[in-house]
Amino acid sequence: MTGTTGNLLLDALSVETRTTILSLCRQIELPVRTLLHEQGETPAYVYFLCSGIASVVVTMAEGGSAEVGLIGREGLVGAMQLLGSTPTPSQTFLQMEGVTLRMRRDDLKTLFVTSTELRNRILEFIQQQSVTLEQIAACNKLHEAEERLARWLLMSRDRADNDTMTMTQEFMADMLGTRRTTVTLVASSLQQRGLISYRRGKVTIVSRHDLEKAACDCYRVCHEALTALYK
Ligand SMILES: [Zn+2]
């Protein structure tokens, strides 16, 4: 494989650099909930997503969890682990099934050191991830469940590139670090106002414009960081 891949970071590289990376990758299709990186472990592989969405989630010792990052076609799972060996408190799994290009972390680390072009692209992606993480950290503490759910659905939609997404209310509660009953109330309110529809584990964004108005400003900040990557 030497052509474009669907992964925006790889496709933004020169053909020469992309061809080198692809010669070291294996394309694999992974189902929803596949665990890509475990908490505290140095991963053997990194994953460039060509479709699907990965969630970066921190689970506390007492059991609560919240999502602190989303990764789609704009980047790769495992970029942070190219920078150093500090264990990560998060785990990363697929919240939406997808096609990935899997590569040994050591191979990518070698190219990260030797290729300025690749390093610059990955560092830009890591900066975008950091901006998103900072914003979500404050959002999870300061904003109400409805505006957070709206923000999260829009961020997922940006990466899924589809208005309809498969997700249970229990899953949404885990991602937002809130109770399922709260998600049920908030999703019902968004549905009654015609912003989303929720049926049989599928959420459809009916009015993106109105959902953006219901979301906190965190969506705008995260969206701008995302769209700045490959404009
Ligand atoms: Zn917010």
Per-residue pLDDT reduced to its tens digit, 64-96: 888 899 999 999 999 999 999 888 899 999 999
215 alpha carbon to ligand 1 midpoint, in Å?
7
Residue 142's H or E segment, with its range, is: helix 116-142
Q: How far is CA 169 from CA 5, 67, 176, 182, 200, in A?
A: 32, 14, 10, 10, 10
Mean pLDDT of 139-167: 94
Of the pLDDT bands very low, low, confident and very high (cuts 50, 70, 90), residue 177 is: confident
Q: Region 128-149: what's the mean pLDDT?
A: 95
Quick: pLDDT tens for 101-118. 999 999 999 999 999 999
The alpha carbon of 131 and the centre of ligand 1 are apart by a number of angstroms equal to: 13
How many whole angstroms from 100 Cα to the centroid of ligand 1?
Answer: 30
pLDDT score recorded for residue 2? 56
Tokens at 18, concatenated: 């992309």
Residues with Cβ within 8 Å of residue 160, at least 6 apart in sequence? 53, 72, 96
| pLDDT at 38 (0 to 100) | 94
> Are the CB atoms for 50 and 110 separated by under 8 Å?
no
Domains, in order of start, for the chain: 8-139 (2.60.120.10), 144-215 (1.10.10.10)
**Residue 133 Cα to ligand 1 middle (Å):** 11
Q: pLDDT at position 65, please?
A: 86
- The continuous run of DSSP H or E covering 90 comes out as strand 90-96
Closest Cα to residue 153, out of 127, 179, 190, 185?
190
Distance from the CA of 156 to the center of ligand 1, in angstroms?
A: 14
Which residues, chain by chain, have CB under 5 Å from ion ligand 1? 139, 143, 216, 218
Residue 225, pLDDT score: 96
Q: What is the mean pLDDT of the chain?
A: 94
Distance CA 96, CA 52 (A): 5
- Distance from the CA of 118 to the center of ligand 1, in angstroms? 32
Q: How many CB atoms within 10 Å of residue 88?
A: 18
Rounded distance between C-alpha atoms, residue 62 and residue 47, angstroms? 29
52 alpha carbon – ligand 1 mean position (Å): 24
What predicted TM-score, i.e. pTM, was given to this entire model? Answer: 0.93
In the reported structure, the alpha carbon of residue 140 is separated from the centroid of ligand 1 by a whole-number distance in angstroms of: 7
Mean local confidence (pLDDT), 12-19? 96
- Burial of 51-85, coded b for 16+ CB within 10 Å and e otherwise, reads bbbbbbbbeeeeeebbbbbbbbbbbbbbbbbbeee
Percent of the chain with pLDDT over 70: 99
Q: Specify the DSSP class assigned to residue 52.
A: S
